[in-house]
Structure 1
Amino acid sequence: MTSANPKFEVCLQSVDGAVAAERGGADRVELCAALVEGGITPSLGTVKACRDAVDIDIMVMIRPRGGDFDYTDRELDVMVQDIRNLHGIGVTGVVFGMLKQDGTVARTQVQRLVEEAGKELSVCFHRAFDVCLDPFTALETLIELGVDRILTSGQAATVPQGTKQLRRLVEQAAGRIGILPGCGIFPENVAEVIAQTGVTEFHATAFGTLTSRMQHQNPAVYMGIPGLPEYERQVTSEAEVRRFVMAARQA
């Protein structure tokens, strides 16, 4: 069974993006920084500004760096402190994922962060799940550890390529843990994804292109990654969010 009104979580990285997501009809946001790296922990100032600006649910990425999901003890301490800082702010939950070097879930580390989240904050295990050794064993481990939701593309490059695996995960989960498909979902395919997988929520960016208002520009200088445009950004678009919401209702 699919939901008549599947929940839409928008992945974004700014307070303006959160406002656009809410105005477009999103149910929840995943707040990150540096989406070009797959998302890392946003600043506490950004989290507080988003909480003040919108009324919808806010999930906060807890990831100290880009790259793999094998974290040192010092990195884990940072993640614990980041979660601790979120208590009392009014956010909905946290998003993280850790693996051991053999590709299995880093049970001890995940347990520590779940305990830090406590009853106040829900927990989503992010797409570290998509590079784990055995997703079906990992699913059971995450249920045992008290994780509420898994963000996954079905261990494929994109959700449309992983729909069969996602369906299997939904069936195995049987309501014990949420399965949140994300990566490669667009308004043009979201209804089909929902119908094929049986999920009741989905995760996507909803970007539009914003051209810089700077009148003086120096294209020879890069502040970020050479080759990426410095005077053009992908930002959350209220209109694009609305397109997702309307399309998802067709599932």
Structure 2
Amino acid sequence: MSKHPFKIEICVEGTDGLIAAQNGGADRAELCASLFEGGLTPSLGVIREAVRVGTIPFHVIIRPRGGDFLYSEVEFNAMLADIKAIRDMGDVAGVVIGCLTADGSIDETRTKALVEAARPMKVTCHRAFDMTRDYRVALEALIRCGVDRVLTSGQRDTAVEGSAILKDVMAIADGRIVIMACGELDANNIAQVRRDTGVDEMHFAAPKTLKSAMAFRNPHVGMGGTAIEREYEITVTDTEAVRATIAAANAAL
């Protein structure tokens, strides 16, 4: 049984996503850029605007690039600088981090440094945890580092597939760190995952694609190597999907 109040966090891209999440009844949001790459650090302008329009707490992802979680010294210094700048704003509830060593372990030295730089904000470890060699060892490392919560799909692509590990992680944590489940959660499966695992919190995105309002479209250019069609599509957070999924989670118990 969870020793923490149950909460729902929505992963959003930008301030419009934050507004959609809070309108849908979310308890908290994870603020990102580039969800296409799994989430990157948004600009300071986006974060300041989120502070202005936000009515729920939000945590900012600290991830300087896509790909793995083995960072160079320059990348790590950028992460520290981003955390300090966000901390100094004074109105951001938390940050979301994750650093690994080449052998698939939590990088405790760097994680501790990021946690210390973030305080008094809360600190979540993102799904870098799912890329570790041994989730039991990794969980104890995060607890030693003072991390407040871990986001995990149970080291599988989806929370449904990872339910057995999520349940085990909850037992190992025993209230010492918040366990937040994620991984393709929606209104059709979130209740079952909650019942099967007993996790403290749950996290999902609710994207939908809108057609661009651009009247003029250059058929000869695709930016960033994407298909031409993608240039004229916008991914947003679906408020109704947020509301429906939260309702399903709350009806689970």
| TM-score for the superposition, normalised by structure 1 | 0.95
Checking the alignment, whether the CA contact within 8 Å between 2:98 and 2:129 is kept in structure 1 is yes
Alignment match, 1:237:
238
Equivalent position SS for 1:70:
coil
Equivalent position SS for 2:161:
helix
Amino acid at match of 2:182: G
Equivalent residue runs for 1:129-148 within 5 Å: 129-148=129-148
Equivalent residue runs for 1:21-170 within 5 Å: 21-89=21-89, 90-118=91-119, 120-170=120-170
Deviations 1:184-203 (A, max 9, x none): 11111010111011013111
- Following superposition, the deviation at residue 225 of structure 1 comes to 3.8
Equivalent position SS for 1:147:
coil
Alignment match, 1:186:
186
Deviations 1:49-76 (A, max 9, x none): 0111012011000011111111111111
Checking the alignment, whether the CA contact within 8 Å between 1:208 and 1:240 is kept in structure 2 is no
Checking the alignment, whether the CA contact within 8 Å between 1:2 and 1:195 is kept in structure 2 is no
- Following superposition, the deviation at residue 155 of structure 1 comes to 0.5
Amino acid at match of 1:108: T
Q: Sequence identity, in percent?
A: 45
- Following superposition, the deviation at residue 241 of structure 1 comes to 1.0
- Following superposition, the deviation at residue 245 of structure 1 comes to 1.4
- Following superposition, the deviation at residue 21 of structure 1 comes to 0.6
Residues 139 and 223 of structure 1: CA distance in aligned 2, closer, same or farther (over 3 Å): same
Checking the alignment, whether the CA contact within 8 Å between 2:2 and 2:175 is kept in structure 1 is no
In structure 1, the gaps of 5 or more residues are: none
- Following superposition, the deviation at residue 167 of structure 1 comes to 0.2
Amino acid at match of 2:108: R
Amino acid at match of 1:138: A
Amino acid at match of 1:144: R
Between 93-102 and 238-247, report the one with greater CA deviation: 238-247
Give the aligned length: 250
Q: 1: distance between equivalents of 2:221 and 2:6?
A: 44
Checking the alignment, whether the CA contact within 8 Å between 1:219 and 1:230 is kept in structure 2 is no
Equivalent residue runs for 1:8-23 within 5 Å: 8-23=8-23
Q: 1: distance between equivalents of 2:140 and 2:236?
A: 36
- Following superposition, the deviation at residue 88 of structure 1 comes to 3.7
Deviations 1:131-190 (A, max 9, x none): 101110110111011000001110111111000000000011010001111121111101
Residues 109 and 240 of structure 1: CA distance in aligned 2, closer, same or farther (over 3 Å): same
Amino acid at match of 1:75: E
Q: 2: distance between equivalents of 1:50 and 1:189?
A: 30
Q: 2: distance between equivalents of 1:2 and 1:113?
A: 27
Checking the alignment, whether the CA contact within 8 Å between 1:10 and 1:28 is kept in structure 2 is yes
Amino acid at match of 1:92: A
| TM-score for the superposition, normalised by structure 2 | 0.95
Amino acid at match of 1:117: A
Checking the alignment, whether the CA contact within 8 Å between 1:169 and 1:179 is kept in structure 2 is yes
Q: RMSD across aligned C-alpha pairs, in angstroms?
A: 1.6
Checking the alignment, whether the CA contact within 8 Å between 1:33 and 1:40 is kept in structure 2 is yes
Alignment match, 2:171:
171
Alignment match, 1:206:
206
Equivalent position SS for 2:230:
coil
Q: 2: distance between equivalents of 1:161 and 1:74?
A: 36
